[in-house]
A and B are shown apart, each in its own frame.
Chain A
Amino acid sequence: GQQLNQSPQSMFIQEGEDVSMNCTSSSIFNTWLWYKQDPGEGPVLLIALYKAGELTSNGRLTAQFGITRKDSFLNISASIPSDVGIYFCAGRVNSKLTFGKGITLSVRP
């Protein structure tokens, strides 16, 4: 079946630093979505990407839909303590969504 690869499992950065996360697959997707999940909460949509090559920003977050349609990345600039959480990528084909296993981001003050 389709799988999305996110690594590493955890990332530790200093407040103020930029961080980049990749999501790769051997399958092609029509939509890429990036979510953030805080403890005890549901995933919250950060950015949605609909076309190959699309680059979209949401405040300090920037994400791109890979040209091959098999990957996407998320950048967070000037990190702050509230950026702590689990970041999931998801790829959609037709009505089904496939999720990566997430990257836990820690931000040191």
Chain B
Amino acid sequence: DAGITQSPRHKVTETGTPVTLRCHQTENHRYMYWYRQDPGHGLRLIHYSYGVKDTDKGEVSDGYSVSRSKTEDFLLTLESATSSQTSVYFCAIRTSGRAAAGNTIYFGEGSWLTVV
């Protein structure tokens, strides 16, 4: 499972409230990602990180912020949740190797978020 833990696994929150999802990894990987998965859209990248305090936007970053103060933790925050952010959120890590082989992406088990 590449040592990825997501929390919470399930959450129901009200529109307008802040929500933070946590991704924790135990294997010191440099790259971490947050995706959301929705019917008809598949997996879409929200933000990613390439090191402590180094982050960049993905294709659906509006309404989301991230932070990475430690290698092992990558936090996704919805500052003011909206119903359109009801989704399943997946954290992922990228393994690294000397050559291209070994650069593989593994996913966590997902966080189901419902905004009512």
Supply 28 A–B pairs (Cβ within 8 Å), ascending by A. A1-B59, A31-B100, A31-B103, A31-B104, A33-B104, A41-B110, A42-B90, A42-B107, A43-B107, A45-B105, A48-B101, A48-B104, A50-B100, A50-B101, A50-B103, A88-B43, A92-B105, A95-B94, A96-B48, A96-B58, A97-B92, A97-B105, A99-B42, A99-B43, A99-B44, A100-B42, A101-B41, A102-B42
**Number of residues on chain B facing chain A (CB within 8 A):** 26
B27 to chain A, nearest CB (A): 15
Q: Which 7 A-B pairs have the closest CB atoms?
A: A42-B107, A101-B42, A99-B43, A50-B100, A50-B101, A42-B109, A48-B104
Q: Which A44-73 residues have a C-beta within 8 angstroms of B?
A: 44-45, 48, 50-51
Q: Which residues of A contact B100 (CB under 8 A)?
A: 30-31, 50-51
Q: A1-B59, A43-B90 are in contact. Are A92 and B42 (CB under 8 A)?
A: no
Q: A30-B100, A95-B48, A95-B50 are in contact. Are A88 and B110 (CB under 8 A)?
A: no
Q: Which residues of A contact B94 (CB under 8 A)?
A: 95
| Residues of chain B having any CB pair with chain A under 8 Å | 31, 33, 40-45, 48, 50, 58-59, 90, 92, 94, 99-101, 103-110
Count A-B pairs with CB separation below 8 Å: 55
Partner of B31 from the list A31, A50, A95, A99 (CB cut-off 8 Å) is: A95
Q: Judging by beta carbons under 8 Å apart, are A33 and B110 in contact?
A: no
Partner of B45 from the list A33, A50, A97, A101 (CB cut-off 8 Å) is: A97
Q: Which residues of B contact A92 (CB under 8 A)?
A: 103, 105
Q: Judging by beta carbons under 8 Å apart, are B104 and A101 in contact?
A: no
Q: A31-B100, A43-B43 are in contact. Are A90 and B105 (CB under 8 A)?
A: yes
A99 to chain B, nearest CB (A): 4
Q: A31-B100, A43-B90, A51-B100 are in contact. Are A96 and B105 (CB under 8 A)?
A: no
